[in-house]
Structure 1
Amino acid sequence: MKRPEPRDEEIILNRNKYIESQTDTKGIITDCNDYFAEISGYTKEELIGKAHNLIRHPDMPRIIFKLLWNRIQNGHNIIAVIKNLAKDGRYYWVFTHFEIIRDINTKEITGYRAYRKYVSKHITAVLTPLYKKLVELEKEGGMEASETYLNAFLKEKGEHITIDNLMEEIYRFY
């Protein structure tokens, strides 16, 4: 499926609804709710069986997804603020909370469930410059350059601040 050309037009989410999806351990969508299909512009049939990065907006730094995947693959939940790309090229921001799905008997990770909701303009205004800088650095020096910058940025915020702490702090003041 061809990726849409991004447009500078935001889709405003309903504050009272959640976008939900479930993936296998490789990030392939195995289920989603109607609101996800509605907002993304894809039908459920177009979404299920596809890689979740189908909706990844090019303004999102790859380092954020690397950190996200590292956390959830190691059995840790994470809250993240993500800019997604709809089928028609518009974008929408979401707070995403991940839940790890485990086999009831073996406790092995079998997939992930994500719940996404509305993000205020205040939060996107705070994160947009950081994400833009990280994307620029990735284009110039790869993911290592953006990771170095992000680590320095977090250290400047406090000795023990991690990406998790930052997202949780932002989420708390949401």
Structure 2
Amino acid sequence: MRATQVRPTGAERTFGEDEIIVTKTDLRGILTYANDVFLRISALTEDEAIGQPHSLIRHPDMPRAVFKLLWDTLKERKELFAYVVNLAADGAHYWVLAHVTPSFDARGEVVGYHSNRRKPEPAAISAAGELYRKVRDEESRQSSSPAGLDAGWRMLQQTLTDRAQTYEEFVWELTNGGRS
């Protein structure tokens, strides 16, 4: 784990459209595999990454309500596509379009999680960032962490209801440049 809290520098890092960030975790979200693209973009060595919680790269601008959605979806043994901003070990941030899936053994039991991440379009980053700012601001207005998560979750769900969309539909609308 990081010895000190990494502070965002505001520097943005990107990766190639032909590159894919890949990680695998166990059931608790502990990294068991990280490809070279992940290591380069996150500014971590393999020794610094493997065995650590995937939340090691969590950016403070990411609303907790989106991670609740992620974990709730995975617990249902379903996949999720999500826009995520991550924090590298050197304080740079990078946006990804993440595809997170449960990993199953031969008996059909979930044994961990696998995530592929691609470079998102700038317009998708802008739209996701706008929604995430509103949800995060709602989370931070609350007096406790649990109340913040509940308030952020309600705001995320209400925003999607107002748009007559699921989160997945929101992601695909952004991914398709506004074309459904």
Partner residue in 2 for 1:92: 94
Question: Which of structure 1's runs of 4+ aligned residues deviate more than 6 A?
Answer: none
Summarize the alignment of residues 67-146 of structure 1 with structure 2, pairs less than 5 Å apart: 67-105=69-107, 107-141=108-142, 142-146=148-152
Structure 1 residue 170, shift from structure 2 partner: 2.0
TM-score by length of structure 2 reads 0.91
Q: Distance in 1 between matches of 2:176 and 2:126?
A: 16
Q: Distance in 1 between matches of 2:5 and 2:17?
A: 27
Q: Would you say how many aligned residue pairs link Structure 1 and Structure 2?
A: 171
How far residue 165 of structure 1 moved from its aligned partner, in angstroms, is: 1.9
Confirm or deny: 8 A CA contact 1:72 1:100 kept in the other structure: yes
> CA–CA distance in 1 between the matches of 2:51 and 2:57?
13
1:2-42 per-position Cα deviation (integer Å, ceiling 9, x unaligned):
23110111001111100000000110000010110011000
Q: Is the 8 A contact 1:77 1:98 kept in 2?
A: yes
Give the unaligned 5+ runs of structure 1: none
Identity rate, percent? 33
| 1:157 and 2:163 are equivalent in the alignment | yes
Q: Distance in 1 between matches of 2:87 and 2:65?
A: 18
Aligned AA (2:129)? T
CA distance in 2, matches of 1:16, 1:8: 25
AA in 2 matched with 1:116 = R
- Structure 2 residue ranges without an equivalent (≥5): 143-147
| Aligned match of 1:66 | 68
Q: Shift in Å at residue 75 of structure 1? A: 0.4
TM-score computed with the length of structure 1 as normaliser:
0.94
CA contact (8 A) 2:127 2:174 kept: no
